[in-house]
Amino acid sequence: MKILRVKFKNEICQGEVPFFRVAVNASMGGEADVLFHNHQDGGFRYAYPLIQYKRIGSKAAIVCIGDGTEAIGEFFSNCNFDININERPVHLEVSQVKADQVLVQVWDEWFSYTLRKWLPLNQENYQEYKKLESLAEQCEFLERVLTGNILSFATGLDIHFEKDVKVRITALEDARIYSYKGVKMQGFDVQFKCNVSLPDYIGLGKSVSVGFGMVKRMEVSI
């Protein structure tokens, strides 16, 4: 699977990531590929987002996955690098463009990851989650959701696993409330182990196109 990360010198706060996405699309004069915004005639493109807008190390970034790595050429060809992020004038400056070929598959070993600002709960499963009283039950519930998130990511990239995906949450921080498009959602920072090799900086869960649910592999100390 191809993945490409475009990092900028420009600092943004987490709350500005959705506005960064809007600004990038506006800068291309309304001619941006559907992968940049996931809107199309008749509604939304509901498949896994292949272009995701991030805040990495306090800086703005765009992560392109699969077909998104081809579409990003349109950004460099058509983008006006003088943009407005929530009415704040910004001149985008690219600091790094990094392309990788990543093998996403199930292994016989475990990999350790962090998952930041993960939004696992929708209206239906939130009600179910609230009924759970013990931390063990909550972790087991969230492990099932996270397994589904990984399978949805793989399906969106036309990747099919021949073995079962296994997930184990090893650390779960207190839940926080995030607001996106006027909707408040419960989010988590977690550490987990999984038998799937996942690329750094992809998103899992809800609202991944604007930086929620960002994955990073943990370095294992020897």
Distances (CA, A) of 39 to 35, 46, 49, 130, 204: 8, 9, 11, 33, 20
Secondary-structure class of domain 106-217 per CATH: alpha beta
Euclidean distance between CA atoms 113 and 193, whole angstroms: 6
In this prediction, residue 30 carries a pLDDT of 64
In this prediction, residue 34 carries a pLDDT of 80
Residue spans in the chain of domains classed CATH 3.30.70: 2-101, 106-217
In this prediction, residue 197 carries a pLDDT of 97
Ranges of residues in the chain whose predicted pLDDT is under 70: 30-32, 39-46, 220-222
**Which CATH architecture group holds 2-101?**
2-Layer Sandwich (3.30)
Q: Quote helix, strand, coil % in the chain, to nearest 5.
A: 30, 40, 35
